Amino acid sequence: MSITGFVAAGFGPVREAFEKNFADGLEHGACFAAYLGDELVVDLRGGFADRAGTAAWDERTLCPVYSSTKPVGALVIAMLVERGLLDYDARVADYWPEFAANGKSAVTVAQALSHQAGLPGFPEAIDPALWLDPPTLSAELAKLAPMWPLGEGSGYHPLTWGYIAGELVRRVSKRSLGTILREDVCSPLGIDFWIGLPESEHDRCAELLKPKAAAQFPHKNVETRAAFLTPWAAAPRGTTEWRKTEIPSANGHGTAPAMARLYSAFAQMGRIGETRVIAPVTWDELTRERVRGEDRVLPGRVAFGAGVMRNLPLIYGPNPETLCHSGWGGSGAFGDPSTGLAGAYIMNKQVTHLLADDRRSKLIDALYGCL
């Protein structure tokens, strides 16, 4: 299995851990990258981008990162907060009046972004094609009653989070969330990450190997059913239309170095390289804890900022202040403000775990062991 890329001096154990994941049969194709401050210290890739094992995973290979997209979308929201177009403490309905329907008038922007709005999914059947029509899907979402009272904790919103975020941006800006990300951040900084992937880039996308077993969800409640377990809980993934649609909760596409670079904004208090994306005071508001406790959908105790997870439990290194997110199948990224370390892991051999992934953990542990 060919491994390409590099590690900086002193980071050899990360390459060894990456190679061992392949040697142990845990990977088909994967990449891992890390920045220490502004220096790219790890950029590794290996295996195959296609299911048949004929196309090598190279530096141009893109892969969907699923829910690891959410903190990137949250960063765009923070940019609009800083520009005075949104306010975390304002009600969602102040920008989107229809959202107030059925008892949601008090939900603030920060509460919605921290999975407290009570809308993890649709309890009654919808046409799954609506997920590819964000304005229409958002209009249907606004009609729903919350599934639990505001102030009684979080219930992870795997898909609906992105439609709330995207609609908020649509209500206050002439540009979409994905367009702002591309024009104001990724294009100027040369970051190969997209929310809403142009069809011209689709030939670079890795083919996914879905897990053979079904995901095991910790809760057998109505919230989890609405979030994940109905036939209408998601649109068909991997299709041309799905890749093109902006879903800020679920279909960001990128390389590991690109995702690690974006998560540098969490490791460096709003800065990516020499570019100040958001001011430290806005970073504080984005990342500070908004809710903590047993989640109604995810396993165990979690803590959320305004769209980014905090490192509870400690699956992204030893620092509980690290900002992070996991994606369906095993992808994940983090930014650690105590060390300035940011990293990202992307692969196409998916597993069923919702938060942790042993392959990713081995790489992160090796990375921290090199500091």
Catalytic residues: 67
**Do 129 and 235 form a contact (C-beta atoms < 8 A)?**
yes
Residues 151, 113: Cα–Cα separation, whole Å? 14
Give the rounded distance of the alpha carbon of 174 from its chain centre: 24
Residues 193, 353: Cα–Cα separation, whole Å? 24
CA angle 41, 76, 32 (to 5 degrees): 25
CA angle 273, 289, 41 (to 5 degrees): 30
